[in-house]
Amino acid sequence: PLPLVLVSACLLGSPVRYNAIHKRCDSEVLARWLAQGRVVPVCPEVSGGLPVPRPPAEISLGAGGAKVLLGQARVIDRQGQDVSDAFISGARHVLVQAQSQDIRVAVLKEGSPSCGSGYIYDGSFTGQRMVERGVTAALLESAGIRVFSEAQFVEANDLLLRLEAGEAA
C-alpha cells in the first residue's frame, strides 16, 4: 500500500491555529500527495480539546516537548493557564492515529509548541526562538516517526519514496 503521511491541518488550509487562521502551503510535493490520497491531516491542539481561537501557548522557560512529556516542564498560554494536559493528550491522539495507519513520516508546522521540529519559542512570549521540538513532534520522533517542517517537503518525499521502495526500514 502507498505509505501515508501526517500533515498539520493548518498547512492544508484549515483555520485551526490559535488565531483561527491557516498557513496553507504552496508545495508541489504536497499537491501531489493530496492527489495521491496519501495525506492524513492532524491538529494535535484541537484533538487535545483546545478551542479555536485560543490564546497562544509556549513551553515554559527554555524547555522542549520531551520535557513536557516527562512532566518536567509545562505548556502555559498567554493568559497563564496551564494547558499541558491538552497538549499531551493531543500528541498521544496523533501518535495512535499514526501507528494505527502505519505512518512513518510527518510534515508539521514549524515553530508551534505542538508541531515544531526545528525550533519553538522559548517560553518568554517575546518571539525568541530556540532549537527544540514541540510536544507532538517530540512524541512522534520518540516513536520512530520522522518529523519534517513545511520547509522540508522534498526531504520528506525522498523518505516516503524510499519507504515505498522498501529501502528504509
CA distance 95 to 58: 21
Q: How many helices (H) and strands (E) does the chain have?
A: 6, 8
Measured from the Cβ of residue 166, the count of other Cβ atoms closer than 10 Å reads 7
- Measured CA to CA, the distance from residue 113 to residue 21 in angstroms comes to 16
Least separation in angstroms between CB 43 and ligand SF4: 3
Nearer to ligand SF4, 96 or 161 (CB): 96
Considering beta carbons, is residue 38 or 109 the nearer one to ligand SF4? 109
Task: State the minimum distance, in angstroms, from the CB of residue 52 to ligand SF4.
Answer: 8
- Closest to ligand SF4 by CB, 141 vs 162, is 141
Q: Which is nearer to ligand SF4, 44 or 65 (CB)?
A: 44
Nearest distance from residue 163's CB to ligand SF4, in Å?
23
Catalog residues that contact ligand SF4 under the rule CB under 6 A: 8-10, 16-17, 43-45, 109, 112, 114-115
Give phi and psi for 66, each to the nearest 5: -60, -40
Q: At closest approach, how far in Å is the CB of 162 from ligand SF4?
A: 25
In whole angstroms, give the CA distance from residue 94 to residue 90: 6
